[in-house]
Amino acid sequence: MPGGRPVALTFGDRVLDCQPGETVLEAFERHGVALSSSCRSGTCQSCMLQAVKGSVPAAAAVGLKPAWRELGYLLACTCRPSGDLVLQRVGQGLELPTCLLERTWLSEEVIRLGLEPPGDFSFRAGQFVNLIRDDGLSRPYSLAGLPGDDSLELHVRILPDGAMSSWLADAPLGTQLRLRGPSGDCVYACDDREHRLLLVGIGTGIAPLVGVTRDALRQDHAGPIQIVHAAVRGTQLYLLEPLQQLARQHPNVSVFGIALHPEGVPGVLEGELQGLVARLAGGASDPRVLLCGDAPMVNALRRQLFLSGVSLGRIGADAFVGSAQAPSPGLRPPPPG
Ligand SMILES: Cc1cc2nc3c(=O)[nH]c(=O)nc-3n(C[C@H](O)[C@H](O)[C@H](O)COP(=O)(O)OP(=O)(O)OC[C@H]3O[C@@H](n4cnc5c(N)ncnc54)[C@H](O)[C@@H]3O)c2cc1C
């Protein structure tokens, strides 16, 4: 019989005791809390939960992607906690009040918004939130900054007829909003500071990757960080200059701007994104890859990388579903085949 003392599992508004040697799943079942489960041996991952406070035993995260471990994900069936945990279902967050503090135009079609960070809000650089308007209209947007920044930074591409984006372009500063989240696993996994990071941002998909890069550098990432900023037109590469400046300050950072039509913007490669990504992914060491932005292109790149030998566990992706059919992100993926 294992020794020790019971620990407390906080789940929503309930606090459950978990006895020494007992798994989180067993404790939930004993207390009549429903949690889907199947294999009960850490394989099927049906009983995955997220610890938002407390330390997750290593055995409870075996087989999970590094980014998921970073986010406190655990398998309830193999988790025998040695201390108190605050748990939630994966992807579940409270709706929190926020307020529009600042707006700057970063290009002809992209605005940078600063939102007031809600008191109880924590996130990892690279995640996204659902932004909710007073009337309930809700859209996901990626966080471009780091926890601890003065405001929560979003980069929003304005679609002239887009319900949320065109409204955000004009909403008065001070407007009250709500946000739910954070969600997503496009985050820096700091379990290996030597690995090569390949970060591919299409259009505003570069926003979360700026946060990831800052996070990696803050954690003294020593391996190469290759950042690709892609768009149809060179003038849409709205973060190219600041990224190039970052690369000048950090020898392990390199930046590639690529567009189908560079339009004379200095330092922009002309061509197809798929070719560049294939070339970079095939370098000397296996990269960890994060892909963000235009959904068809992200999905096509993920497939291309997988077929060329990069395991899915090394690829994180946020496909910006919803903005996909707008004409100007445009980088069309190759036909399926
Ligand atoms: C995980 C995730 C993260 C995201 N992060 C970001 C982000 O950081 N930045 C960002 O800009 N977006 C992001 N998006 C996309 C974002 O959530 C919205 O889908 C986008 O802003 C459009 O919303 P909307 O209400 O303005 O447009 P909607 O009213 O929802 O209209 C969207 C659709 O209408 C059509 N449409 C609307 N206006 C036009 C137009 N002028 N021309 C052509 N077609 C049009 C398009 O087909 C488009 O698919 C993200 C999406 C996901 C899923």
Q: What is the pLDDT of residues 256-296, one digit of tens each?
A: 999 999 999 999 999 999 999 999 998 777 899 999 999 99
**268 CB-near residues (< 8 Å, 6+ apart):** 234, 237, 240, 257, 258, 259, 262
Question: What single-letter DSSP state applies at residue 227?
Answer: E
**97 CB-near residues (< 8 Å, 6+ apart):** 118, 176, 177, 178
Domain that holds residue 33: 7-89
Q: Which residues pair with 198 in a beta bridge?
A: 226, 289
Closest CA to 7 of 44, 38, 51, 47: 51
- Say which CATH number the domain at 50 has: 3.10.20.30
- Evaluate whether 203 touches 156 at the Cβ level (below 8 Å): no
**282 CB-near residues (< 8 Å, 6+ apart):** 308
The residue contributing the CA closest to ligand 1 atom 2 is 320
Question: What single-letter DSSP state applies at residue 312?
Answer: G
Q: Is the dihedral of CA 262, 265, 268, 273 positive or negative?
A: negative
**Is residue 222 lining ligand 1, measured as CB closer than 6 Å?**
no
pLDDT for the residue numbered 284:
74
**Is residue 129 lining ligand 1, measured as CB closer than 6 Å?**
no
Q: What is the pLDDT of residues 157-167, one digit of tens each?
A: 999 899 999 99
In a domain, 190, yes or no: no
Point out the least confidently predicted range of 30-44, 152-166, 250-264.
30-44
In a domain, 126, yes or no: yes
Number of other residues whose CB lies within 10 A of the CB of residue 186: 23
Domain boundary (38, 65, 89) is at 89
Q: Is the pTM of this model over 0.75?
A: yes
The residue contributing the CA closest to ligand 1 atom 37 is 162
**315 CB-near residues (< 8 Å, 6+ apart):** 288, 289, 290, 291, 302, 305, 306
Instruction: Give the torsion through C-alpha atoms of 292, 120, 70, 246, to 10 deg.
Output: 50
The pLDDT confidence band at residue 337, using thresholds 50, 70 and 90, is very low
The residue contributing the CA closest to ligand 1 atom 4 is 141
Tokens of residue 13, six digits: 């508004």
pLDDT for the residue numbered 1:
42
In a domain, 325, yes or no: no
d(Cα 305, Cα 274) in Å, to the nearest integer? 9
In a domain, 189, yes or no: no
> How many folded domains does the chain comprise?
3
Q: Do 230 and 248 belong to one domain?
A: yes
Point out the least confidently predicted range of 33-37, 48-52, 240-244, 252-256.
33-37
d(Cα 290, Cα 326) in Å, to the nearest integer? 22
Question: What single-letter DSSP state applies at residue 277?
Answer: H
Ligand 1: residue of 141, 170, 180, 239 to mutate (most ligand atoms within 8 A of CB) is: 141
